[in-house]
Amino acid sequence: MVGHEDSGASKKKSTDSSNDLPTFNAENLQNNTKIIYYSRTFLSIIGGVIAGILGYTGLTGFVFYFLIMAITSLGLAAKAKFSIHSYFDCWNRLLLDGFLGGLLSYVLFWTFAYDIVHIF
């Protein structure tokens, strides 16, 4: 995927599928969560620059942000081969965690790129 950098670390299996009861390896779970956070931050910065260059204003820009976040979720799910339960404890963590955390960085870089390209 263009611009999708996975921080070089691989996701590790957090659960052992041979038990009936799900047990989690806390360290791997934390590592996977960190990977999600880095991916989202990086993509929100890149998305901000793209939105600024393309000249989106107002609502279109925010819609683009949510689109970027959805693409991130899709990419992460594909990387986990869609078997979420062996890497994370629940779906929400992959889809919704840190959704709004990248918004401020996105707005900063969006403003920056927009100004440089269009106003000046």
Residues that bind another protein (CB under 8 A): 18, 20-21, 37-38, 41-42, 44-45, 51-52, 56-59, 61-62, 101-102, 104-105, 107-112, 114-116, 119-120
For 30-50, give one letter per residue: b (16+ CB within 10 A) or e: ebbbebbeebbbbbbbbbbbb
Computed on alpha carbons and rounded to an integer, the radius of gyration of the chain in Å comes to: 17
Q: Which is nearer to another protein, 22 or 81 (CB)?
A: 22
User: In this structure, are residues 41 and 109 in contact, taking their beta carbons and an 8 Å threshold?
Assistant: no
Q: Which is nearer to another protein, 81 or 100 (CB)?
A: 100
CB nearer to another protein: pick between 82 and 120: 120
Nearest approach in angstroms of CB 84 to another protein is 22
For residue 3, give both structure tokens: 């611009």
